[in-house]
Amino acid sequence: MKTLRGENIKIICKNRKAFFNFEVDDSFECGIVLLGSEVKSLRNGKANISDSYGKIRKGEIFLIDAHISPYEQSNRQNHDPLRERKLLLHKKEIKRLTGKVTERGFSLIPLKIYFKNGKVKIEMALARGKKNYDKRESIKKKEQRRELERLVKFRNQER
């Protein structure tokens, strides 16, 4: 449990592909409408948001293709793992996001799901997709940074 400014935060899952496939412009926190069995499954850490995205429909934002595994101790009332889940935002925030997504070609992608003071929150981001040459460039920078760290570590070991 991380404590940030008096808030207990427990990260459930992260979208590690997000920063590689997208150029993240802005991120924001929102609530999510869940069933009881989904919350219990999240407490066990059984979720995957790597291929999911947000979609705006009729003035509401939905999380699509997020996989929350069925709760094992549940009976007939278990949930559908890939169902669409409504995200909770203020109307003003939804209007701002709608304008950016429709005009400028941004996408809504989830970055992480976490518990904050006992409630499930999701961090969404406005992001623009990277081209292949952008991805190659980011791989190149990452390799150069690793090589530099290796050299510094090696020099520090010699002393």
Alpha-carbon distance of 42 to 126, in angstroms, equals 24
Instruction: Copy the structure tokens of residue 122.
Output: 């999701």
Q: Is the pLDDT of residue 6 over 70?
A: no
Q: What's the pLDDT band for 4 if we cut at 50, 70, 90?
A: low
3-state secondary structure of 95: helix
pTM for this prediction? 0.73
Mean pLDDT, all residues of the chain: 84
**Which tens digits make up the pLDDT trace of 54-108?**
888 888 999 998 888 888 877 777 777 788 889 998 999 888 888 888 877 788 8
Give the contacts of 33 (CB within 8 A, at least 6 positions apart). Answer: 85, 86, 87, 88
Domain ranges of the chain: 2-130
Task: Tell me the β-bridge partners of 75.
Answer: none
What is 2-130's CATH number, 3.40.430.10, 3.20.20.70, 3.30.230.70, 2.40.280.10?
Answer: 2.40.280.10
How many Å apart are CA 18 and CA 51, to the nearest integer? 9
Amino acid making up residue 53: Y
Out of 35-49, 66-80, 108-122, give the one with best mean pLDDT.
Answer: 108-122
Q: Are strands 107-116 and 85-88 parallel, antiparallel or unpaired?
A: unpaired
CB atoms within 10 A of CB 116: 15
Q: Is the pLDDT of residue 3 over 80?
A: no
